[in-house]
């Protein structure tokens, strides 16, 4: 080693002597490691195309078009392709990444859902004035993927048939279209009120031409989800930047062709309301008061930048950054603002007005989103967390009980359990401000401890007395049992936090009733009769009967909230960890076998072991942290995020369900995962060397020193400078800001055990 030692003995200002030794070492020491570079602007990393592809059970069903966070208007192309046409199960959002034909730009869409609705109020630029252009088979156009540009807040594509560049941007209730036609072509725009995404039906259409630049109208849509409650009535206003003439009208008057003088790009503004025609006009005037497309696009981008900047990534690969911010964007597409700019809203056939500064939300995929999305809001977006809770309380307060899947202006009733209970309790327990916790508890308790005839608790049946749902009452009896048990766990925590000890004890006891369904012979949860005897059907790993979108093995590992029970059910902690490890150890080979199938279609069928594509076992890697083996959480959460997620169209391994899978990735990359219905967090394995989470009261920083694709495992941890020995935190540890420092290494350690 070659070195130079210099002894320095200066006098301090107070006469004291400071002795220092400066050692300059040449050749032997590595260069200093540069601090990880922060993402300056998250917007370029967030691709709206993430999750728009995939197939069958691996279709993300993501919405790629123009919108703002939680915007009612989600304007984008509905598409079809040569191979699959508009096959419904890959077109729930109206769009599939493998398609090459645009059927028109519609204004309302769901995101990530497993059912079709909306896809209405269609505009399509064309250059023909022939009557045939009123038919979708004529006005549709192929497009080149090379011309497609999707960015948070805007969408651009060139329609090859008409040689038109279409640009879209949006606000909460309105859309701005800009169509640039080729020189010499005759600009026309089709307005189609006759079509919706199948099997939707449009009726009661009205269309009035107010003047040469304004049209107003309405219609009633009964879609796949909304049909059960009578559909959604939509009011709209269309304004054009210059006068148009109506050159063609369909026989029923539901499709019209607008003609414009050639020259500058044709621009149209479309305002929407689910309340009234006056609301559509007022929404449009308030949000898009001019035809300044670039200003409206910039405003939409700023709205997205504000949300995405709640998490600031340092370091990491470009692809990891892109996947992280693309996944984070998915969390803010739904729920949807259904109240007008003045606060007026309609839900369940009743009208209301929100207090100043508040919005009414709907489009809650609650069976999914309670697991990841709502805890994410409670952490980095308290405003949306509060609005979500207050909206659900208003829905229940109208006498219909707490919903499961409110969509648009009504309750679709989709899925199982009492999932709104978990969302509300979770927000209160995590300290979301502006909530009346006692009033919320009283509403929740009236249903959970009463005998409701409507709402999510109405199908409890004998659950409250038996501790489980018997097979006589439901074909999904096991799945419903574990969902109600999770809801009771959440309400027990809420009750205890408010001093309702007796009710807390009752609910806590009920939350453990799922254990009665464990079959020690097969080591899985099995359906039981009301008399407590096991259903005689033989156990099958692949059978979803008795479960909710999962098999027996996946459902068995659902109770994250009551995971301490597994030690007793399996006989010991070691036996439980062995069974959980087997559940994961089989997954890579199963995945490889599926991907080796000879046809594309066969590769994307359900998996039988760990499978983050469906919600019941989405959290399972983090069960290891609760059982004292965070090293295995690190191993399998890293495997899952690397195997199943990327920023490309097939980068979400199943229906995103309102941001559920995207939020899972955000948490897995942060190395921090929620226990829904509590104030708890579990520590995993961060993807980035540094991540800042901007909370309401401060910034919480997660540092993973030395992290790399090889260095997955936490060796030691400190929270705000003090040693942290457990792989768990509470909301109180995070809420005021602070610093979690994890030292990472290539080998599992004993930390957290």
The predicted pLDDT at position 32 comes to 57
Cα–Cα distances in Å, from 182 out to 158, 188, 262, 268, 438?
11, 12, 9, 18, 62
Check: CB of residue 671 under 8 Å from CB of residue 689. Answer: no
8-state DSSP, 346: E
Q: Can you say how many angstroms the Cα of residue 294 is from the centroid of all Cα atoms in its chain?
A: 28
Closest CA to 128 of 166, 176, 181: 181
* Pairing relationship of beta strands 699-705 and 738-745 according to DSSP bridges: parallel
CA distance 584 to 579: 9
| pLDDT tens for each residue of 301-356 | 999 999 999 999 999 999 999 999 999 999 999 999 999 999 999 999 999 999 99
Residue-wise pLDDT tens digits, 396-436: 988 789 999 999 999 999 999 999 999 999 999 999 999 99
The residue among 295, 294, 282, 368 whose CA lies nearest residue 333 is: 368
Is 231:196 a contact under the CB 8 Å cutoff? no
Verify cis geometry, omega within 30 degrees of 0, for the bond prior to 569: no
**Run means of pLDDT, 10 residues per run, the chain, 753 residues:** 29 33 36 80 98 96 98 98 95 97 98 96 98 97 96 98 98 98 97 97 98 98 96 98 96 98 96 98 97 98 98 97 98 98 96 95 97 98 98 90 96 94 98 96 95 87 94 95 98 98 98 97 96 92 92 97 97 98 97 94 94 93 97 98 97 97 98 98 98 96 97 98 97 96 97 94
Position of tokens 């005689």? 536
User: Would you state the pLDDT for residue 417?
Assistant: 93
**Burial class, 596, CB count within 10 angstroms (exposed 0-12 / middle 13-18 / buried 19+):** exposed
Q: Output the CA–CA distances (angstroms, integers) from residue 206 to 34, 136, 175, 201, 252, in the order listed.
A: 63, 20, 20, 15, 10
E-strand ranges in 618-686 read 672-675, 680-683
Q: Can you say how many angstroms the Cα of residue 449 is from the centroid of all Cα atoms in its chain?
A: 30
Per-residue pLDDT at 400: 82
- pLDDT for 8: 28
DSSP-based three-state secondary structure for 727:
coil
From the list 101, 27, 580, 112, the residue with the least C-alpha distance to 333 is: 112
């Amino acid at each position: 080693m070659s070195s130079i030692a210099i002894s320095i003995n200066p006098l301090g200002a107070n006469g004291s002597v400071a002795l220092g030794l400066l050692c300059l070492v040449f050749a032997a020491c590595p260069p200093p490691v540069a601090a990880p570079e922060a993402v300056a602007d998250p917007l370029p990393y967030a691709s709206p195309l993430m999750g728009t592809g995939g197939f069958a059970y691996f279709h993300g069903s993501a919405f790629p078009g123009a919108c703002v966070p939680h915007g009612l208007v989600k304007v984008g192309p509905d598409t079809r392709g040569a191979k699959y046409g508009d096959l419904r199960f890959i077109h729930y959002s109206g769009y599939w990444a493998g398609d090459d034909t645009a059927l028109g730009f519609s204004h309302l869409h769901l995101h990530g859902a497993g059912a079709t609705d909306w896809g209405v109020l269609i505009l399509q630029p064309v250059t023909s004035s022939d009557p045939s252009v009123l038919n979708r088979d004529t006005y549709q156009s192929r497009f080149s993927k090379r011309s497609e540009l999707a960015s948070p807040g805007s969408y651009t594509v060139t329609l090859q048939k008409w040689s038109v560049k279409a640009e879209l941007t949006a606000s909460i209730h309105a859309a701005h279209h800009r169509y640039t036609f080729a020189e010499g072509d005759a600009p026309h725009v089709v307005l189609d009120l006759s079509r919706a995404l199948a099997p939707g039906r449009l009726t009661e259409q009205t269309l009035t031409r107010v003047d040469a630049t304004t049209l107003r109208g309405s219609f009633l849509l009964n879609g796949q989800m909304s049909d059960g409650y009578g559909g959604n009535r939509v009011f709209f206003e269309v304004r054009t930047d210059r006068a148009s003439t109506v050159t063609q009208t369909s026989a029923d008057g539901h499709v019209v062709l607008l003609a414009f003088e050639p020259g500058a790009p044709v621009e149209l503004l479309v305002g929407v309301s689910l309340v009234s025609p006056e609301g559509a006009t007022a929404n449009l005037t308030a949000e898009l008061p001019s035809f300044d497309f670039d200003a409206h696009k910039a405003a939409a981008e700023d709205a997205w930048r504000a949300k995405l900047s709640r998490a600031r990534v340092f370091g990491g690969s470009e692809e990891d950054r892109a996947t992280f911010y693309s996944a984070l964007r998915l969390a803010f597409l739904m729920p949807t603002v259904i109240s007008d700019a003045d606060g007026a809203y309609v839900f369940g056939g009743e009208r209301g007005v929100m207090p100043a500064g508040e919005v009414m939300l709907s489009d809650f995929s609650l069976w999914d989103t309670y697991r990841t999305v709502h805890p994410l809001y409670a952490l980095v977006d308290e405003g949306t967390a509060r609005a979500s809770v207050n909206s659900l309380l208003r829905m229940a307060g109208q006498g219909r009980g707490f919903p499961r899947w409110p969509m648009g202006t009504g309750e679709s009733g989709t899925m199982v359990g009492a999932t709104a209970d978990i969302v509300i309790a979770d927000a209160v327990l995590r300290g979301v401000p502006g909530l009346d916790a006692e009033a919320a508890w009283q509403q929740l308790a009236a249903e959970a401890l009463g005998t409701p005839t409507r709402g999510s608790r109405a199908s409890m049946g004998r659950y409250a007395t038996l501790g489980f749902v018997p097979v006589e009452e439901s074909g999904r009896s096991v799945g419903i049992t574990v969902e109600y048990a999770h809801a009771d766990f959440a309400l027990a925590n809420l009750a205890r936090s408010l001093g309702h000890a007796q009710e807390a004890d009752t609910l806590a006891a009920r939350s453990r009733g799922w254990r009665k369904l464990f079959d020690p012979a097969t080591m899985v949860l099995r359906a039981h009769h009301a008399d407590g005897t096991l259903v005689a059907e033989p156990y099958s790993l692949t059978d979803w009967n008795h479960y909710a979108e999962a098999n027996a093995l996946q459902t068995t590992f659902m109770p994250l909230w009551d995971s301490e029970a597994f030690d007793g059910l399996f006989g010991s902690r070691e036996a439980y960890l062995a069974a959980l490890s087997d559940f994961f150890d089989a997954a890579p080979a199963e995945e490889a076998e599926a991907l080796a199938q000879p046809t594309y279609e066969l590769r994307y069928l359900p998996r039988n072991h760990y499978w983050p594509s469906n919600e019941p076992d989405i959290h399972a890697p983090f069960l290891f942290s609760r059982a004292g083996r965070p090293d295995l959480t690190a191993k399998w959460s890293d495997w899952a995020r690397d195997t199943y997620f990327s920023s490309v169209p097939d980068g979400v391994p199943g229906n995103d369900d309102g941001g559920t899978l995207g939020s899972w990735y955000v948490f897995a990359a942060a190395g921090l995962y929620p226990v829904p219905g509590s104030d708890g967090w579990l520590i995993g394995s961060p993807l980035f060397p540094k991540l800042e989470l901007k909370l309401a009261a401060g910034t919480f920083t997660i540092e993973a020193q030395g992290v790399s694709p090889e260095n997955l495992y936490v060796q030691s941890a400190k929270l705000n400078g003090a040693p942290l020995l457990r792989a768990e935190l509470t909301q109180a540890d995070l809420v005021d800001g602070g610093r979690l420092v994890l030292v990472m290494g290539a080998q599992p350690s004993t930390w957290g055990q």
